[in-house]
């Protein structure tokens, strides 16, 4: 019989792509991973992986087994979450992820107030652009600009963020603009983010402007705009600076969603952290 421990090894190899990466994730030796995979293949009577370019790629049988393993993993994490929160009180650890700019500009300055109000909750803010897997408990709570589709997630729309086209005062005063008054120089997101609403708007509305700087985060974009490199689209919570001038208001509007796993819906500490995020969102333009 294949047990969960065997399936953990299978998933680690699928996700890491090598025995070494799987061993690192599982905190064991590479030969141990190799032996476990060989035994699992013998038990199922078929090859579960093939090597392609030095990496382990699951066969059709291996992928089917991994898909079932991922469903089991989600169920185990959900069960663990429910067990954790029986008789829950507003105390314990909460891992909250948010877009980098919002996390550092809006949430981080208010962490002290949250700590004073909820001394029993250890709130960890992870400000990053990467979307984490809430089903695998990579975070307890997430703030996102894109609405998730997984059924096991609870999704709450907390509001809308307007994005405007901004430039520094120095750029507006010193640099030329087109006859229509549009900026000739732009600061834009990296090409890998071309499908974001901000990138689409720039291509459609300012097709002749030249991109001078590309960045991977709104904080870097704001820094380049303030430095006078060109105009760029910024959310309202990053634009409260006297050195910035608004050129086009509400160029883009994006909904914001608060997301957590359904198993955490009765958790007092997660509810408290969620209220904190909603309150921060509502007061994001306050000093």
Please indicate, yes or no, if residue 210 is contained in any of the structural domains.
yes
Mean pLDDT of all residues in 247-274: 89
| Residues sharing a CB contact under 8 Å with residue 46, sequence separation 6 or more, in sequence order | 59, 61
pLDDT at 1 over 60: no
The CATH number linked to 54 is 1.10.10.10
Please indicate, yes or no, whether residues 98 and 146 belong to a single structural domain of this protein.
Answer: yes
**End position of a domain, from candidates 68, 84, 100:** 84
The region of weakest confidence among 47-56, 171-180, 245-254 is 171-180
**End position of a domain, from candidates 31, 54, 84:** 84
Please indicate, yes or no, whether residues 110 and 215 belong to a single structural domain of this protein.
Answer: no
Confidence of residue 224 (pLDDT cuts 50, 70, 90): very high
How do beta strands 92-98 and 121-127 pair? parallel
Does residue 87 contact residue 261 with C-beta atoms inside 8 Å?
no
Does residue 198 contact residue 163 with C-beta atoms inside 8 Å?
yes
Please indicate, yes or no, whether residues 108 and 212 belong to a single structural domain of this protein.
Answer: no
Confidence of residue 76 (pLDDT cuts 50, 70, 90): confident
Q: What is the pLDDT, as a whole number, of residue 245?
A: 94
Please indicate, yes or no, whether residues 189 and 248 belong to a single structural domain of this protein.
Answer: yes
Residue whose C-alpha is closest to residue 168's, from 284, 247, 101, 102: 247
Please indicate, yes or no, whether residues 178 and 204 belong to a single structural domain of this protein.
Answer: yes
- Residue 16 — φ and ψ, nearest 5°? -85, -30
The CATH number linked to 273 is 3.40.190.10
Q: What is the pLDDT, as a whole number, of residue 287?
A: 45
DSSP 223-239: HHHHTTS-BEEEEGGG-
Please indicate, yes or no, if residue 167 is contained in any of the structural domains.
yes
Give me the percent of the chain exceeding a pLDDT of 90.
57
Q: What is the pLDDT, as a whole number, of residue 178?
A: 58
Please indicate, yes or no, if residue 188 is contained in any of the structural domains.
yes
| Nearest-angstrom CA–CA distance, 99 and 45 | 46
Q: What is the pLDDT, as a whole number, of residue 82?
A: 60
Please indicate, yes or no, whether residues 223 and 119 belong to a single structural domain of this protein.
Answer: no
Please indicate, yes or no, whether residues 48 and 100 belong to a single structural domain of this protein.
Answer: no
Please indicate, yes or no, whether residues 172 and 193 belong to a single structural domain of this protein.
Answer: yes
**End position of a domain, from candidates 50, 84, 118:** 84
| Nearest-angstrom CA–CA distance, 116 and 136 | 30
Please indicate, yes or no, whether residues 188 and 72 belong to a single structural domain of this protein.
Answer: no
Q: How many domains does the chain have?
A: 3
| Residues sharing a CB contact under 8 Å with residue 160, sequence separation 6 or more, in sequence order | 253, 254, 255, 256
Please indicate, yes or no, if residue 113 is contained in any of the structural domains.
yes
pLDDT at 83 over 80: no
Please indicate, yes or no, whether residues 219 and 206 belong to a single structural domain of this protein.
Answer: yes
Residue 237 structure tokens: 């919570």
Q: What is the pLDDT of residues 169-181, one digit of tens each?
A: 999 988 766 545 6
Please indicate, yes or no, if residue 216 is contained in any of the structural domains.
yes
Bigger pLDDT: 129 vs 213: 213
Q: What is the pLDDT, as a whole number, of residue 182?
A: 82
Please indicate, yes or no, whether residues 155 and 263 belong to a single structural domain of this protein.
Answer: yes
Expressed as residue numbers, the domain containing 33 is 4-84
Q: What is the pLDDT, as a whole number, of residue 266?
A: 83
pLDDT at 110 over 60: yes
Please indicate, yes or no, whether residues 114 and 174 belong to a single structural domain of this protein.
Answer: no
Coil vs helix vs strand at 189: strand
Confidence of residue 219 (pLDDT cuts 50, 70, 90): very high
Please indicate, yes or no, if residue 287 is contained in any of the structural domains.
no
């Amino acid at each position: 019989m294949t047990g969960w421990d065997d399936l953990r090894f299978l998933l680690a190899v699928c996700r890491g792509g090598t025995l070494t990466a799987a061993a690192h994730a599982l905190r064991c030796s590479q030969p141990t991973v190799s032996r476990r995979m060989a035994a699992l293949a013998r038990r199922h009577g078929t090859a579960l992986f093939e090597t392609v370019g030095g990496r382990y790629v699951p066969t059709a049988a291996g992928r089917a087994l991994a898909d079932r393993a991922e469903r089991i993993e989600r169920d185990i994490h959900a069960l663990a979450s429910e067990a954790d929160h029986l008789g829950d009180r507003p105390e314990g650890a909460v891992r909250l992820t948010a877009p980098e700019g919002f996390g550092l500009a809006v949430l981080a300055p208010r962490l002290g107030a949250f700590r004073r109000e909820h001394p029993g909750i250890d709130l960890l803010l992870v400000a990053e652009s990467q979307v984490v897997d809430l089903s695998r408990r990579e975070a307890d709570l997430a703030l996102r600009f894109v609405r998730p589709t997984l059924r096991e997630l609870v999704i709450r729309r907390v509001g809308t963020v307007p994005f405007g086209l901004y430039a520094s005062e120095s750029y507006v005063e010193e640099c030329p603009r087109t006859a229509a008054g549009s900026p000739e120089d732009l600061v834009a997101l990296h090409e890998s983010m071309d499908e974001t609403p901000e990138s689409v708007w720039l291509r459609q509305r300012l097709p002749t402007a030249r991109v001078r700087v590309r960045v991977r985060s709104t904080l870097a974009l704001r820094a380049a705009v303030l430095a006078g490199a060109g105009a760029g689209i910024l959310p309202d919570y990053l634009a409260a600076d006297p050195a910035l001038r608004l050129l086009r208001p509400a160029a883009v509007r994006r909904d914001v969603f608060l997301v957590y796993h359904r198993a955490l819906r009765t958790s007092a500490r997660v509810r408290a952290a969620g209220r904190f995020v909603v309150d921060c969102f509502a007061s994001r333009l306050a000093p």
